[in-house]
Chain A
Amino acid sequence: MIEFTTSRHNPGIDPTLHLWGWEIPVYLFLGGLVAGLMMLSGYHILRAQWDRDRAHGHYVTAPILSLVLLSAGMLTLFLDLEHKLYVWRLYLTFEIASPMSWGSWILLLVYPALVASTLLTLPDSLPRLTRMVPPLGRAASAFAARPGLVHLTGFANLILGAMLGIYTGVLLSALGARPLWNSALLGPLFLFSGLSTGAATLHLLAHLGPRAKRDDGSFGDALTSALVHWLRPPEAHTDGNRKLAQADNSFLTIEFALLALFLGGLMTSTEAHQAGARLLLSGPWAAPFWVFVVASGILLPLVLQFLQAQRRIQATVIPALLVIGGGLALRLILVSAGQASHWSIALH
């Protein structure tokens, strides 16, 4: 038997670590979602350039939505700081070993990329504003007339979106004192979670907005379309919404695999890592993890979107909402449980 007593009583540290509340998980969720939107819109901008007669469809809302959501995310980041008046210190240095320093500079670069893609898609996303403010329309047209700039915007959104999506997971995984987070798979997991929530957001907007006149790019549908086409041959005209559902399913499948590998890696590691994983698998966070992240956040939307892609059930917004909820739940649970995971000094 080991009995451990300590006289330390620091607020936020004892009896259990409580550093980050809702602000950080909400930023991680919004950052991941924006990363997914950026990668999808960046890819689509490039596809639209290469295949000149394709319409933009519902991807046109991604840039302006990203600007709004990322700004909201950065506000929550700012709210979390305890020494807010010194936030400008982030931009006086680049600490190469600090993922948070990487992130603050990535966020600085993301904004011009988003402003560029927003300007490019403004005539389609906000046509009334473009008509009311003619200089905006002229600027958008001048921008679209320069293929080099458009290519650069597409690549910038794709690359910076990937960096934004992955750095948040790397940031947590670099904090080795919290064994639950200490896995190299956390970065890719957050990236694919961001892609799936981004695709789900576009899917939601496509359902709520006017239907696209033409079908759109089929980014990422290789995994599900192979199975779908085996069961039912493809039709002559495809629905853009169906393509998004297929893309989302590919991201969800990879996300599920990464989640399984992440937990498997922890369970085959040290006692401290196993204890961290057990917090999610069978401990205090097991119920919300299995229900909101795995079942309703990944598996149920996979099944529903697969059936929708096969036209066996009606397409609805439900899978998209479940995926978005699952992405938020994943981050809320991981940030909260991670703070409860620790190396135990009591064993020495």
Chain B
Amino acid sequence: MSRYIMVIDTRRCVGCHDCVVACQTENNVPAGYCRDWITETARGEFPTVQLEIRTERCNHCANPPCVYCCPTGASHIHERGGVVLVTHDKCIGCKACLAACPYDARFIHPEGYADKCTFCIHRVEKGQDPACVSVCPTRCMHFGDAEDPLSDVSRLLASRPHHTLLPEAGSKPRIYYLT
């Protein structure tokens, strides 16, 4: 049983937004919307300032509240990799999943269904990386199977300190940020 995760090195991310544009291009994301985005968090006061730049998206949680709350089963966990997906023609646009997501990662597509990052499952099933991972100029993004101890992602998690976003929300996110 595979479990796809993403590992992002915050010490290499420079916030160039290549991942954002690549995702919008690859997935025909409508103008004015984004499935992934960049955040910058600055802590402290000059001269002791810490800055973390992150590329964020749907965390494809292992305990996804967006799947549990969906009344039609449109929001579901893919049989391969534990990827959280939305079946467009089952979605009624009730927005319960948008309200359920602690990361506000979803949005309503202009055609009416809930939309979000899909880990480019159409590319992954052909053996490719997600579009955002492919274009990253600093190679700070890694995608792979956490169940494979020899994968890049497993090795990085074993060797570097890392954190997830809002672990206290209880959704068990599957995107890890190396610090």
> Which residues of A pack against B, CB within 8 Å?
1-14, 17, 19-20, 80-84, 86-87, 89-90, 92-93, 95, 97-101, 103-104, 171, 174-178, 270, 339, 342-343, 345-346, 348
| Distance A5 CA – B92 CA, assembled complex (angstroms) | 32
**A4 touches which one: B39, B93, B165, B169 (CB < 8 A)?**
B39
Interface residues on B, range: 35 or more
Q: B53's closest neighbor in chain A, by CB?
A: A5
Q: B172 in the interface, Cβ–Cβ < 8 Å?
A: no
Asked if A176 meets B40 with Cβ closer than 8 Å, knowing A9-B34, A12-B107, A93-B72, the reply is no
Q: Which residues of chain A come closer than 8 Å to B101, judged between CB atoms?
A: 177
Please tell me if the beta carbons of A13 and B41 are within 8 angstroms of each other in the complex: no
> Which residues of B pack against A, CB within 8 Å?
17, 20, 32-34, 37-45, 56, 65, 68-74, 89-96, 98-104, 106-108, 111-113, 163, 165-166, 168-170
| Distance A1 CA – B43 CA, assembled complex (angstroms) | 6
Please tell me if the beta carbons of A175 and B32 are within 8 angstroms of each other in the complex: no
Asked if A13 meets B104 with Cβ closer than 8 Å, knowing A100-B71, A348-B163, the reply is yes
* 17 pairs, A vs B, C-beta closer than 8 Å: A1-B43, A2-B42, A5-B40, A9-B32, A17-B98, A17-B99, A82-B93, A84-B92, A84-B112, A98-B96, A100-B96, A171-B96, A175-B99, A176-B169, A342-B104, A345-B103, A346-B41
Please tell me if the beta carbons of A343 and B163 are within 8 angstroms of each other in the complex: no
Please tell me if the beta carbons of B107 and A82 are within 8 angstroms of each other in the complex: no
Q: Is the interface of A mostly helix, strand, loop or mixed?
A: loop
Q: Which residues of chain B come closer than 8 Å to A11, judged between CB atoms?
A: 32-33, 107-108
Q: Which residues of chain B come closer than 8 Å to A90, judged between CB atoms?
A: 71-72, 92
**B39 touches which one: A84, A99, A345 (CB < 8 A)?**
A345
Q: Which residues of chain A come closer than 8 Å to B20, judged between CB atoms?
A: 7
Q: Which residues of chain A come closer than 8 Å to B112, judged between CB atoms?
A: 81-84
Please tell me if the beta carbons of A176 and B73 are within 8 angstroms of each other in the complex: no
| Distance A5 CA – B102 CA, assembled complex (angstroms) | 17
